[in-house]
Amino acid sequence: MMYEEYDDSPLQFIKSIRIYLNGDSSKYLDLKIAQNSSWSDIQTQLDQKFPKFKEMRLFTQQGVEIFKDDVKFFKDGQSFYASRGDEFDPHSPFSQYETIKKLGEGGFGCVTLARHRITGEQVAIKVIKMMGNAQDIELNFREAEVLRSLTHKNIVKVFNSYALQNTQMAVIMEYLEGGELAERLRQKGRFQEEEACKYFRQVVSAIAYCHQKNIVHRDLKMENLLFCSPDSDDLKAIDFGIAGIQCPTNNDHVNIGSLHYMAPEILGGKVTRVSTSVDIWAMGIILYKMLFGKVPFNGKSQQDIIFNVVNKDLLLPPNNFSEEVINLITQMLEKNHEQRPRITDVEYHPWVNTEIRTPQQKQSLLQIPSEGNIRKSRPSLSPRPRSKSPNPSGIVKHPNIFKL
């Protein structure tokens, strides 16, 4: 049974669905379906509005074909695509949107601002070129599905992802109009400790949520933290996780931008599998940069930067920052990834967690000795062995990541 108008018996209509026309999402039909609605009910309704739907095929928004027996599993609010027998047109979901402008172009693809033709809702659409064999690409999609399941106030909401032709994938996500944290820092030069703390806590919260789910961001940097609006201090992390198997379309741009944030164990070729400790390192770099206005390890060339990240000791310029924040930076920028704190340690660090106030509590949580370049008046904290540089030669073994 199917009815187009609402019947006042509430049990009759259990689900509302929308069916777009394959290839032209400006045309659609809203239906209310009942428990016993059948495939042919849907077909008849469609045929009445858009003739010649005798050979109807239905697809999900991801282009997966669905069949007669699936009707009873339709969920309230779901959208589908109907064709007159044709294959799914992967551009269908996009015809719902009109492009407004380009938002950014990174090494892995292009991000555009778009508006939904019917609801007017603005979204950001990222088109990614994938690399690898069919299995890698399959993995990519599964990862995208995981990202879609992330729900956190400091993580961009991904609404949908689609396969396109030529091993491309499109990700539709919420539009964050406040610009990059990198840009706000550029305008100010550096942040006061209080302001830095406000932003840093949000990053901690987002990354704690991910690490709990064994998701590593892999490309945390100030360009990948966006404000919700220009006058808001609410930050969200973007550009998640799939970096490991994405295909760089623009090597130079990606590498230089991310290089400053990459952990020594990756750059030094000590590990080949990324783990959560790379995010902790990147967060240490972000915190350092917010306070000092520059990155701690720099260089004139990619090779210089890599050498310095791997080998050079952390030096802190003269400053009046609190003992806590200096302690936190020093811990996070520990070269030995096995000795680096985990995200829960960061969450409970007294600089991040102001609930921890008693001197005893603070003392027990500040575990790394302050170095000579930290103010002398600070109490010395319990010593911990310092790691040796993991790769004194500075040899880089990541040909896939960098073209040197």
Q: Look at residues 400, 139, 404, 390 and name the one whose alpha carbon lies nearest to residue 271.
A: 390
Cα–Cα distance, 23 to 88 (Å, whole number) = 8
306 contacts 394 by C-beta, under 8 angstroms: yes
Give the contacts of 123 (CB within 8 A, at least 6 positions apart). 97, 113, 114, 115, 116, 159, 172, 173, 174, 175
Residue 263 binding: pick among Mg ion, ligand ADP, none (C-beta 5-8 Å cut-off by kind): none
- Compare residues 231 and 355 and give the one whose CB is closer to ligand ADP: 231
Residue 224 labeled ligand binder: yes
Question: At its nearest, how many Å lie between ligand ADP and the CB of residue 94?
Answer: 16
366 contacts 356 by C-beta, under 8 angstroms: no
Judged on CB neighbours under 10 Å (0-12, 13-18, 19+), 158 is buried
φ, ψ of residue 249 to 5 degrees: the values are: -100, -10
Residue 126 binds to ligand ADP (criterion: CB under 6 A): yes
Cα–Cα distance, 53 to 104 (Å, whole number) = 40
Residues of this chain, 8-47, that bind ligand ADP according to CB under 6 A = none
- Compare residues 360 and 400 and give the one whose CB is closer to ligand ADP: 400
Label the pairing between strands 97-105 and 122-129: unpaired
- Give the range of 11-19, 22-30, 103-111, 372-380 binding ligand ADP by CB under 6 A: 103-111
- Compare residues 106 and 248 and give the one whose CB is closer to Mg ion: 106
Map residues 311-350 to x or -, x wherever contact with ligand ADP holds by CB under 6 A. ----------------------------------------
- Compare residues 53 and 175 and give the one whose CB is closer to ligand ADP: 175
- Compare residues 250 and 354 and give the one whose CB is closer to ligand ADP: 250
The answer to whether residue 70 is catalytic is no
From the list 86, 89, 136, 219, the catalytic residue is 219
Label the pairing between strands 122-129 and 79-83: unpaired
Residues of this chain, 235-264, that bind ligand ADP according to CB under 6 A = 238-239
DSSP state of 180: B
Binder to Mg ion among 89, 143, 180, 239 (CB under 5 A)?
A: 239
Straight-line distance from the first to the last Cα atom of the chain, in angstroms, rounded to the nearest whole number: 66
Question: At its nearest, how many Å lie between ligand ADP and the CB of residue 180?
Answer: 5
φ, ψ of residue 244 to 5 degrees: the values are: -60, -30
Residues of this chain, 172-191, that bind ligand ADP according to CB under 6 A = 173-176, 180
- Residue whose pair of structure tokens reads 């930050």 in the numeric block: 235
**Hey, which residues are catalytic here?**
219
**Interface contacts to ligand ADP, rule CB under 6 A:** 103-104, 106-109, 111, 124, 126, 156, 173-176, 180, 223-224, 226, 238-239
Q: Which residues are annotated as a binding site for ATP?
A: 126, 223-224, 239
